[in-house]
A and B are shown apart, each in its own frame.
Chain A
Amino acid sequence: MSALQIKKGSSKHSAYNLRPTFSDVQETHTITVLVENEPGVLARVIGLFSGRGYNIDSLTVAEVDHEGHLSRITIVTTGTPQVIEQIKAQLGRIVSVRDVHDLTAEGSSVERELALLKVASTGDKRVEALRLADIFRAQVVDSTLESFVFQLTGTPDKIDAFAELMRPLGLVQVARTGVAALARGKV
């Protein structure tokens, strides 16, 4: 059989770009996962995201039921609708996962994040920072003559906006918790 005349380097693209009919619109979803609080459970969840190439925009985790050994993981992720469905199905497959809810898809929810922002400045900039903090209802939790640490709670958008305003006023450090979220209503 003669050799095939395939052009050298004829393709650099991943074959898996040949995906079919699924929509390629990117959506951001907040997913809340109730897990059994046992060693390695966070690694299972994070390993799933890294191993399958999903995005994590933010992730928070803490024990929520000491008696029942349950922790809640809140994950904000971005992907196509098909990827979001896969993420939920894959999470549901983990043996230590009790339940998975897509708060974005399942009606209205409340989402809050806490941030600490260190702003170092003097003079007018310092005064302006304090004035803006007041508007955003941020609290001063530490102060020196050259700096403030503000504590701010709100939606991620609100924290983004505040951090953006602080940048020219001497923002030096930010620590954010990531989103914690619950569905609105009784259950």
Chain B
Amino acid sequence: MTRQMTGAKMVVQALKDQGVDTVFGYPGGAVLPIYDEIFQQNDIRHILVRHEQAAIHAAEGYARSTGKPGVALVTSGPGATNAVTGLTDALLDSIPIVVLSGQVPTFMIGSDAFQEADTVGITRPCTKHNWLVKETDKLSSIMHQAFHVATSGRPGPVLVDIPKDVQFATGEYTAKPQAPVGHYQPQVKGDLETITQLVEAIEKAEKPVFYTGGGVINSGPGASQLLRELVEATGFPITSTLMGLGAYPASGKAWLGMLGMHGLYEANLAMHGCDLMINIGARFDDRITGRLDAFSPRSKKAHIDIDPSSINKVIKADMPIVGDVGHVLEDVLKIWKARGRKVNREAIAKWWQQIEEWKKVKCLTYKQSETVIKPQYALERLEALTKGRDRYITTEVGQHQMWAAQYLGFEDPNRWMTSGGLGTMGYGFPASVGVQVAHPEALVINVAGEASWLMNMQEMGTAVQFNLPVKQFILNNERLGMVRQWQQLLHGERYSQSWSEALPDFVKLAEAFGAKGIICKDPKDLDDAIMEMLEHDGPVIFDCLVEKHENCFPMIPSGEPHNKMLLGDAQATNAIAGKGAVLV
């Protein structure tokens, strides 16, 4: 079925065909025809952000919390360049988003026209794919292809750049079922021979560990279910990257906690000491591996990843399995069950004894204070007071992010939105907006640091306008905490530019936007203040004044392997030296 319509109408029609209910955007000259079409319909809700970067992060929050692609609409030139950080963030964290940008009319491209930028050129390295649409007749099929590419294989951001004359001109609309899907069809089934090898390794392993990542979340809730089944049935311990939290429940008995630079002692030592590492949907990121030549030296490594380029990129895989996590886990379970559900029970029990010894270190212990709120304590209380609620957490980037990952427990996938790969300060607030739009009834909390939060604080306007009751839980140490920590550990305590001076009064700031502000500085008042935040129906800025010089531990110093973790300040003296000093 084909129909004649304008390019602008096609954009809206294609979004409807794709089941899109929400678009995050900001209008401008080159997208006016599309905004005109948005005005004349009610199926798609437009959320007006206050900065294009926030539109992309909000779309990411929407996508991560729903499993559906997020959509953003921005104008040409500065609108598109402001989207670049968000696109790069989504690329590194494999988040499916579709960004539509306006462009100057085709006959003006290349003339340095007003608000012209080479958007496809600028965004080529920070998208999975992008298109410049030069003919209205091709617009609708490109739109459908854009959704296909964003959501298939390893998900990621795509951008469609639409010149203004293409939006005005009339062309033929191609409906979704008729649209050519193109040649992009990534492999989802894993190689059965290698999967059988993995099953054999599972049957024999004496010190196995599951190391799971964002790929499990991206594969959908079914993959998390299969993972849980496999973990329960084998009794193997499981750890996860920052991106994978929630795939296996934090309350599960096989859960070791997060691994990596600020991961738990028992998780990192299990990775270091294991004889079988089963990587499911993670990519051996440098935050995870630490020093490569000393990374888990005695283990056989299986690596399940939908992206062939992740295999053998940094760590050599003994059992490489290219495929979708859900499909592969299904086959693993099927074959393992068919072969008699064997594991080396005796050895596994011994392995758990060892892990229990490591757990006794209690690596998350911190020094409590009667007078000052410790950031860890603030998060412990937040966890205790929100446990069991329909809760979504976003974060900014820095110490608070690592503490949130350590002290909050995630029982389900899609409940934890954080900027892992790119480490984008300013991600959390707009992401919380996107999550709240997708889940209007849920409790959405952005755990923030004051410095990160200020980077996209203009989104208070969005939160208030759309009555989004997002809770901005700011651990305010008046410092760029992680930068300060590294300057303390690495740069002779010379705290170059890492303090937050001239901070706003956050309560007044909230009130100026028409929202509620709460300040808390006494540990004794904390519970009541948190309850006040939770009970308020509307956006809240919670200014939690915390200990200014708290360091985030445990920590693997740069350039060191997993078994050289620092557990606290006492151990940190002389921790990072030589080659490690150049690592970020």
User: Contact residues of A with B, CB < 8 Å?
Assistant: 1-7, 10-15, 17-22, 36, 39-40, 43-44, 47, 51, 82, 85-86, 89-90, 92-96, 98
Contacts and interface: CB of A to CB of B under 8 A. Distances in A.
A4 B316 contact: no
Contact of B132 (A17, A39, A89): A39
B10 to A, nearest CB: 20
Interface in B163-183: 182-183
15 contacts: A1-B551, A1-B570, A1-B573, A4-B572, A13-B582, A15-B559, A20-B292, A20-B293, A21-B293, A40-B120, A86-B309, A86-B312, A89-B308, A93-B308, A95-B184
Given A6-B577, A21-B293, A92-B308, 5 more contacts: A18-B559, A40-B121, A40-B132, A47-B125, A94-B129
Nearest to A91: B309
A92 B574 contact: no
A11 B581 contact: yes
B131 to A, nearest CB: 9
B579 A15 contact: yes
Contacts of B551: 1
Q: Which 6 A-B pairs have the closest CB atoms?
A: A89-B309, A15-B583, A95-B129, A20-B293, A20-B292, A1-B569
Contacts of A44: 124
A175 to B, nearest CB: 28
Given A3-B493, A89-B308, A92-B308, A43 B121 contact: yes
A44 B126 CA distance: 11
Given A10-B581, A11-B581, A21-B293, A3 B124 contact: no
B317 to A, nearest CB: 11
Contacts of A7: 577
A112 B15 CA distance: 49
A3 B575 CA distance: 11
Contacts of B583: 15
A15 B558 contact: yes
Contact of A89 (B129, B311, B490): B311
A92 B309 contact: yes
B312 A82 contact: yes
Contacts of A51: 125
Contacts of A93: 307-309
A2 B573 contact: yes
B110 interface: no
A10 B149 CA distance: 46
A4 to B, nearest CB: 6
Nearest to B294: A20
Given A1-B488, A6-B581, A18 B291 contact: yes
A151 to B, nearest CB: 36
Given A5-B574, A22-B316, A43-B124, A11 B308 contact: no
A85 B310 CA distance: 11
B255 interface: no
A18 B124 contact: no
B119 to A, nearest CB: 11
Nearest to A22: B316
Looking at chain B, what size class is its interface with the partner chain?
35 or more
Identify the interface centre among A1, A2, A7: most chain B CB within 10 Å of its CB.
A1
B366 to A, nearest CB: 14
B253 interface: no
A69 to B, nearest CB: 11
A11 to B, nearest CB: 5
B580 interface: yes
Contacts of B313: 86, 89
B388 interface: no
Contact of B573 (A4, A21, A22, A43): A4
Given A1-B488, A1-B572, A19 B292 contact: yes
A158 to B, nearest CB: 35
B492 interface: yes
Contacts of B292: 18-20
A93 B490 CA distance: 38
Contacts of B573: 1-2, 4-5
Contacts of B493: 3
Contacts of A19: 292-293
Given A89-B309, A98-B183, A14 B582 contact: yes
Nearest to A12: B582
Contact of B579 (A11, A43, A86): A11
B558 A6 contact: no
B262 interface: no
Given A4-B492, A39-B132, A10 B293 contact: no
A4 B579 contact: no
A178 to B, nearest CB: 23
Contact of A21 (B124, B311, B316, B559): B316
B577 A10 contact: yes
Contacts of B183: 36, 98
A6 B311 contact: no
A35 to B, nearest CB: 11
B340 interface: no
Contacts of A17: 579
Contacts of B578: 10-11
A47 B120 CA distance: 13
A83 to B, nearest CB: 10
A6 to B, nearest CB: 6
A96 B158 CA distance: 13
B552 to A, nearest CB: 13
Contacts of A3: 488, 492-493
A83 B329 CA distance: 29
A92 to B, nearest CB: 6
A95 B149 contact: yes
Contacts of A40: 120-121, 124, 132
B239 to A, nearest CB: 21
B489 interface: yes
B230 to A, nearest CB: 27
Contact of A6 (B125, B569, B576): B576
B309 A4 contact: no
A69 B577 CA distance: 55
